[in-house]
A = this chain, B = another copy of it.
Amino acid sequence: MTLDRRHLASLLAAGAFAGAFAGRDPAAFAQAIQGTATSEQRPKVGMLVYPDMILLDLAGPLTVMSLAMAEIVLVGRDRKPVATDIGIPIEPSASYETCPRDLDVIFVPGGLKGTIERMDDPATCAFLAEIGHRARFVTSVCTGSLLLGAAGLLKGYRATSHWYVRDLLPLFGASAESARVVEDRNRITGGGVTAGLDFGLTLAARLRDEETARRIQLVLEYDPKPPFAAGTPEKAGGELTRDIRSRRAPVLAAARDAAMRAKQRLEK
């Protein structure tokens, strides 16, 4: 792609991006859920964004939280736009320094390559630990739970992750479960990628109420009918599972190494 810088520069000058994210009004069809919500009623949800994250890990929960009239903060290490797996960049609305400290929820999406990089990043682990010890809910989808673990937030908790890294959770003192969504006290973790929808609705029911979650589900027409039975290693069978593990072997090994380093830091 040839980037048309002059065009984008003129958009920037016109303020075309201003108003996105921070303090933004809820999604276009949030009125389908309810009328208005005062700012006291609106839960404050911080969502971590980082390079090489999987956009879909974020988009499901973000859509559900928008419809739940949450105030969303997209938090990055700094305000630089991050590149996601499918090439759509996301611009954080706050940095670790400027992120509000009174979040109701901290949420961490996955994206293994980026997760590994952030597990080794002291600033990210320190930020998550600080916010996580204050937030009402500490949450993740996919490999995001590895980052919660590396920040010391899963010790003594039951949790889940993408099926191919779930076995790393015990390194952080967590007990790994093979479930779509695992709730243990105020920790709510989801499985791989598409679990963000099941996770998001679960969180919406806790933050608001079950009726709101059911409304959101109806507006999103979330009545899944996968054309194949292949969403878990058990259903997809050994051959496909081994093949994916083997193709991902280098990055899975890197994830184990990063988890071991985090474990050693946590034990100090």
Contact = CB atoms under 8 A, between A and B. Distances in A.
A233 interface: yes
Interface in A32-82: 32-33, 35, 52, 54-56, 59-60, 62-63, 66, 72, 79-81
B194 A224 contact: yes
How many copies of this chain?
A: 2
Contacts of A198: 224-227
A107 B36 CA distance: 34
A17 B81 contact: yes
Interface stretch (A19-27, A149-157, A167-175): A19-27
Contact of A224 (B8, B79, B81, B224): B224
A35 B93 CA distance: 37
A85 interface: yes
Interface stretch (A125-133, A209-217, A257-265): A209-217
Interface residues of A, number: 97
A11 B80 contact: yes
A223 interface: yes
A218 B194 contact: no
Contact of A29 (B19, B85, B214, B228): B85
Contacts of A93: 1
Given A59-B86, A81-B16, A231-B217, A248 B32 contact: yes
A236 B62 CA distance: 22
A244 to B, nearest CB: 5
Contacts of A18: 1-3
Contact of A86 (B8, B23, B63, B195): B63
A211 B59 CA distance: 26
A254 interface: no
Nearest to A22: B1
B244 A215 contact: yes
A223 B180 contact: yes
Contacts of A27: 85-86
Q: By CB atoms of chain B within 10 A, which of A4, A13, A91 has the most?
A: A91
A79 B4 CA distance: 8
Contact of A218 (B20, B86, B244): B244
A181 B225 contact: yes
Given A27-B85, A83-B20, A218 B240 contact: yes
13 contacts: A1-B93, A3-B12, A5-B12, A28-B52, A66-B86, A88-B88, A194-B220, A194-B222, A211-B240, A213-B227, A217-B231, A218-B231, A221-B232
